[in-house]
Structure formats: C-alpha cells, structure tokens
C-alpha cells in the first residue's frame, strides 16, 4: 500500500443495481482507505450514454451509504469529457493513438483467417501502413476511424497486492481500441485519465481485469504518469459457480436491504468470504477493516451462499444489545422494552421478525386448544399477580402436580393455547409480557 495517505476508488458503471459482488470490491477499497487515513472515491463510469441511468447511480450512492461506506469524493465520467479529449490528442501527437478504418465484419474475417493458419488472433496493425491519401479516400467513402493505442511489444510486470508478482506480455495482445468511430470512449482511456487526475494510489478490483493492467500501465507511462499499485481479488460467485450480474438484479444490495438483512452482516460476508479470515460477526466496519489483508485473499473463487448469510445475519441480531435495537423497535412501534427484546432476539433471523413476536404478545392470536382438560386445569391454577420471570415455572409446576403431565405433553398444549404456534421464544419470558388478562382469555379459547 502507498506510503502516503492512499486514494482508492470504486468505479461502477450505472447500468444496473450493484450486487454483493460489487459490494466486495467497494468495501475492500473503502475499508483500506479508512484504515490508512486515505480517501475513498466513487467514480461512475457512465460514458456509455445509452445504457447508463441516473437512477442506478443514485441507488448506488444510497447502497454504499446503507453499507456505511459513503464515499469522500464522487465523480462522473460524463462530466469529464474534456480531460479525455485532451489525453487522446496528446496520444495522437506522440504517435501512440492511431486511426483504423476496418469494419467489424472485416476484422472478424481477418480473425478467422488467422485462427485457420494457427496464428494468434491479434490486430495486424494494417492501419499503420495507410498513407494520408488512403485515409482521405476511406473517409470520403463514409468511413470514420476508430482509434487504437499502439502497445510496445514488451512484458509489463507489477507486484500485485493480492496475487504477488504478475506480468502480461503485451506482444500477445491486440492494440486496444480507446476511441470508437462516433468519438465515444471505451473503458480504458477514461479510467487511466481519471486515476491520474484523482491521484489514485491503489487500484483494487476484480481479477477479471488482470490482462487490462498490462495495457493500462503502458497507457499511464504514455501519458507521463506513474502507474498506481494494483490488487486483483477473486470474484464472488453463486454456490454453483455462476457469476453475478448487475443487469439481473439478483442479490442486489437494494433487494438484500429490503429483505431485512443487516448491512454489517452483508459487509462481513462480502469481505471475509474467500479470505484467510473466517466469516463471522464483527462489531463495526473499523473492526472489519482491521481484518482486511489483501495478500491473504484466496485465488479460488469466493462463493456466496445465502444460507451462510442467513446464519450470519441471525448471529448479528442475536448479539444486538437493546440500546442498539431500541430505536429500531420504536420505529416499528414495538413495545415491551428491554424485556421483550431479550425474550425474542434469540428467535430472530432478521430484525423485522420481531414484529411477528410482538404480534404474539399483543394479539390478536387464535389459540389452539388441543387438550381442553389440561388447559382448563391450567386456567384454574393461574398464579396471582404480579407476574415476573418466575411465574411460568410456578404455574407449570402446579399444573404438573395436579395432572401428572410433564415435558412436551405439558408444555406444547400450553404454548399452542397461548401463542397459536408450536414454537417460539421461552414462555417464561413471554408470559409476563402477554399479561394475565390476555392469558385468561386465550386459555378460554378467545381470539385476543
């Protein structure tokens, strides 16, 4: 990592909802920047005007804020076109950016010929042999050039934060197109220009960009700027190994938030899965940041398992102190205070499940009277008020002594009569919350 305060960036294209795999990249950058006292930049790669949407950019900012990693700086490439035009002109002037006139069909035909001859399907630089008259003739015929970056045929090496020593032989690559026929830019040029302009020190991104890195380092050099350090982490996939897609909306942060997952649970799983650290609850993003070690991220794909998220989320909720839960309970108009929270939290998979158990306390509940004789005896033996945490045992001991019933035969009929359910929080804690009046009515078969 850079010796100076680092600058790291997350650079999504606003063409869909960001998913938990995107969150992995965003979190790694944000947490490292925070830990090292640096800057976290959100850069929207929105030069594709046809597919980019403002609503996706707005949702991305909301998603990052929900995760707790609101950026220090937000920029949009669509606002920075002059920078890219200036860089393109400098590259043209130095001879590194050159015009090409082949159509997609012509390029595909050449590629098939190369493959049939056992040659690598890389661009043959035929456009470099065109003279001024040739180019004029093509343009008069209606052709408009796309512009390729002339790579130096050498090996580009770097020490990757995640993968260690890496290299790309640029002699095996086609000269990449940086500017389309219509004058719009592909990913590479704006990305490098922005990294220079924003003084990005470290680029942490998915391993699908490894080959791009050799090209980009040459582009940094051609623009007279030092390249940042790079780190390429493994990608998050489904359990079956499929990649995640923004366009499908699957596992989007917005959906996960709407489904009631805790942002810290999402963050912990996204960061820790596929690393040397076990996936586990953390108390804060600062603690999670202290666990980030780019050098110990696995090279194998990191698999997202929704059942693992469910289990992790439940652990977060079970450990949540009442002081943290209180304002959220109040927002949901759930009463009962700390006694209720302590009674139900061990039974919650997601925080919103507390509503269900408050409904069991407050009603209405349709009691199930499966053993009328037992329930009638229990009603007659209800202890005097006030009720507290000891009441349940006093009551069931008295019912057991009179009926001879014990275990499931005793407790299940009472639970069904009091809650309408065959499972739930400990009745010793719920009984005082339900209260004597509702208990009597439910034991009498009334829906309350």
CATH number at residue 402: 1.10.10.350
Which of 179, 196, 213 is where one domain is finished?
Answer: 179
pLDDT at 247: 65
Q: How many CB atoms lie within 10 A of CB 385?
A: 11
Question: Does 353 lie in the same domain as 232?
Answer: no
Would 391 be classed as within a structural domain?
A: yes
The tens place of each residue's pLDDT in the chain, 448 residues long, gives: 656 899 999 999 999 999 999 999 999 999 999 999 999 999 999 988 888 999 999 999 999 999 999 999 999 999 999 999 999 999 999 999 999 999 999 999 999 999 999 888 999 999 999 999 999 999 999 999 999 999 999 999 999 999 999 999 999 999 999 999 999 999 999 999 999 999 999 999 999 999 999 999 999 999 999 999 999 999 988 888 888 876 666 789 999 999 999 999 999 999 999 888 999 999 999 999 999 999 999 988 888 899 999 999 999 999 999 999 999 999 999 999 999 999 999 999 999 999 999 999 999 999 999 999 999 999 999 999 999 999 999 999 999 999 999 999 999 999 999 999 999 999 999 999 999 999 999 999 999 8
Would 66 be classed as within a structural domain?
A: yes
**CATH number of residue 39's parent domain:** 3.40.50.620
Count up the domains in the chain and report the number: 5
pLDDT at 249: 65
Would 341 be classed as within a structural domain?
A: yes
Question: Does 428 lie in the same domain as 378?
Answer: yes
400-405-406 Cα angle (round to 5): 80
Would 260 be classed as within a structural domain?
A: yes
Would 74 be classed as within a structural domain?
A: yes
Residues 6+ apart with CB under 8 A from 261: 309, 313, 350
Question: Does 171 lie in the same domain as 97?
Answer: yes
Helices 306-318/263-272 angle, 10° precision: 130
**CATH number of residue 307's parent domain:** 1.10.1160.10
Which residue shows structure tokens 């052709």?
143
**CATH number of residue 160's parent domain:** 3.90.800.10
Question: Does 328 lie in the same domain as 290?
Answer: no
Question: Does 327 lie in the same domain as 199?
Answer: no
Question: Does 165 lie in the same domain as 207?
Answer: no
Question: Does 128 lie in the same domain as 105?
Answer: yes
Would 246 be classed as within a structural domain?
A: no
Would 245 be classed as within a structural domain?
A: no
Question: Does 169 lie in the same domain as 114?
Answer: yes
Question: Does 357 lie in the same domain as 420?
Answer: no
Here the tokens at position 128 are: 């470099």
pLDDT at 276: 86
Q: Residue 223 to residues 14, 82, 97, 247: CA-CA distances in angstroms?
A: 27, 15, 11, 34
Side-chain-facing half-sphere of 354: CA atoms under 13 Å: 29
| Full domain range(s) for residue 140 | 92-179
Would 1 be classed as within a structural domain?
A: no
pLDDT at 301: 84
Question: Does 150 lie in the same domain as 108?
Answer: yes
pLDDT at 153: 96
């Amino acid at each position: 990592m850079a010796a100076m305060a680092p600058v790291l960036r997350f650079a999504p294209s606003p063409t869909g909802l960001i998913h938990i795999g995107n969150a992995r990249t965003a979190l790694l950058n944000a947490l490292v920047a925070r830990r090292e006292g640096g800057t976290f930049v959100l850069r929207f790669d929105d030069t594709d005007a046809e597919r980019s949407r403002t609503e996706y950019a707005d949702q991305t900012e909301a998603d990052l804020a929900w995760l707790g990693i609101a950026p220090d700086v937000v920029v949009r490439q669509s606002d920075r076109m002059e920078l890219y035009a200036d860089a393109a002109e400098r590259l043209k002037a130095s001879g590194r950016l050159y015009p090409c006139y082949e159509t997609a069909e012509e390029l595909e035909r050449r590629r098939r010929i190369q493959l049939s001859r056992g040659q690598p399907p890389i661009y043959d630089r035929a456009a470099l042999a065109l003279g001024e008259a040739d180019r004029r003739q093509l343009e008069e015929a209606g052709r408009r050039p796309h512009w390729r970056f002339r790579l130096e045929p050498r090996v580009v090496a770097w020490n990757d934060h995640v993968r260690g020593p890496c290299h790309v032989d640029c002699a095996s690559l086609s000269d990449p197109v940086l500017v389309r026929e219509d004058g719009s830019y592909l990913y590479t040029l704006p990305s490098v220009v922005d990294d220079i302009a924003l003084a990005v020190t470290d680029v942490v991104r998915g391993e699908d960009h490894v080959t791009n890195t050799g090209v980009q380092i040459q582009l940094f050099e051609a623009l007279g700027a030092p390249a940042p350090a790079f780190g390429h982490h493994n990608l998050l996939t489904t359990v079956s190994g499929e990649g995640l897609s923004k366009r499908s909306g699957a596992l989007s942060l917005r959906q996960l938030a709407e489904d009631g997952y805790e942002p810290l649970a999402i963050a912990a799983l996204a960061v820790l899965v596929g690393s040397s650290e076990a996936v586990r609850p953390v108390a804060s993003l600062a603690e999670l940041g202290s666990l980030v070690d780019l050098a110990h991220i696995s090279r194998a794909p990191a698999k997202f398992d929704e059942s693992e998220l469910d289990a992790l989320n439940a652990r977060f909720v079970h450990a949540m102190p009442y002081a943290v839960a209180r304002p959220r309970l109040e927002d949901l108009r759930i009463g009962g205070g700390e006694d209720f929270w302590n009674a139900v939290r061990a039974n919650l998979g997601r925080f919103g499940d507390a509503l269900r158990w408050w409904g069991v306390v407050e009603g209405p509940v349709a009691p199930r009277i499966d053993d009328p004789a037992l329930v009638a005896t229990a009603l007659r033996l209800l202890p005097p008020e006030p009720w507290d945490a000891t009441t349940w045992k006093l009551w069931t001991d008295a019912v057991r002594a009179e009926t001879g019933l014990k275990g499931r035969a005793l407790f299940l009929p009472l639970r069904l009569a009091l809650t309408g359910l065959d499972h739930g929080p400990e009745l010793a804690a719920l009984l005082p919350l339900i209260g004597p009046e509702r208990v009597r009515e439910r034991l009498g078969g009334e829906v309350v």
